Structure 1
C-alpha cells in the first residue's frame, strides 16, 4: 500500500518537472544536479537549491537597493550582482531566471534606470515563481520518501 502513494507522488513530481521544463523555467542542469543525489546525501538537491535561494535573496536586495537610489549611477556594481545571479541560476538549472538576468544586465550596460527597474520587477516575479514551484517539488519529494518508507542513515 505504501508503494502506491509513493508512485502517485513520483508521478506528481514528474508532472511538475515536465511543466517547469516546458515553460523554460528549468533546464537539463537541474536533472544533472539530481543525478548527484544518492543515499549518502538524500537532501543534496534541496540543500543546494536552499543555498541558492539564500544567496540570491541577498543579491536581489542589493539590486533593489541600487535600483532605488535617487541618483542611480552604479551600473557596474549592478552588473557584478547580475553576473553572480546568472552563474548561480545557471548552476541549478534555473534557465528562465538566468535569461532574465542577461536582459537585465543589458539594460544595466545601457545605463537605463527605467529599463533596470522594469527588469528588476520581472526578475523578482520570476524568482518568486521559481522558489514557489521548487518548494512545491521538494514537498512532494519529501512526501514520496515518507510514503515509500525509505529510511536514510543518520549522519553523525
Structure 2
C-alpha cells in the first residue's frame, strides 16, 4: 500500500482494476456493476460479489461431488451447475472464470471425465484468484472511504 490518503488508495484501486482488466480477469460488466453503486448503496458491488461467492462455493462443491462419483458421473447435472456458474460469473464481469466454465462445459458435454477434472482444477484456481483480488480491492475501498471520512449507516437488527 502506498499510503493511507484517500487519493493514494484511489490510485491503488485503479491500478489493481487496470491490472485485472489487462489480465482478462474482469471485463466491462464489472464496470457496469460499479456504476450501480452510489451514496445510497455504498457497498452494492461488494454485497453482490459476496452473494456470487457464496453461491459459487455451493456450485463448486456440487461439481466436485459429481466428479468424485467413480461409477457414474451425471454430466447433465454438471452442465446445469456449469450454466449457473457461467451466468453468474458473466453477470459480475468475471471473464476468465466464465471462459473456464465454457471449456469445462465442453468437456462435460463430451462426457470427458479427465477433461472435467482438469477444468475443475482450473476453475478452482481462477475462482480463488478472483476472490483474493476482489477482496483486496474491497479492502482498499473501505480504507479509502474511511480516509475520506465517509460514514456508513449502521444496520441494527
TM-score higher than 0.5: yes
Partner of 1:77: 77
The structure 1 segments of at least 4 consecutive aligned residues displaced by more than 4 Å after TM superposition are 153-156
- Tell me by how many angstroms 1:71 deviates: 1.2
With the length of structure 2 as denominator, give the TM-score of the two structures: 0.94
- The Cα of 1:154 is off from its aligned counterpart by 4.5
1:3-55 Cα offsets, whole Å, 9 max, x none, are x7000000000000000000000000000000000111110000000000000
Aligned-residue offset at 1:72 = 3.2
Q: Contact 1:39 / 1:152 at 8 angstroms: preserved in 2?
A: no
Count of residues in Structure 1 that have an aligned counterpart in Structure 2: 153
> Where does residue 114 of structure 1 map in the other structure?
114
Q: Where do 5+ consecutive residues of structure 2 fail to align?
A: none
Instruction: Check if 1:146 corresponds to 2:127.
Output: no
Offset at residue 155 of structure 1 (A): 5.5
Q: Secondary structure at the match of 1:131?
A: helix
**Counterpart position of 2:36:** 36
Q: How far apart are the structure 1 equivalents of 2:58 and 2:128?
A: 14
The equivalences for 1:43-122 within 5 A come to 43-122=43-122
Q: How much has 1:150 moved relative to structure 2?
A: 1.3
Aligned Cα root-mean-square deviation (Å):
1.2
Q: Which has the higher contact order (CA 8 A, sep 6+)?
A: 1
TM-score computed with the length of structure 1 as normaliser = 0.95
Aligned to 1:129: 129
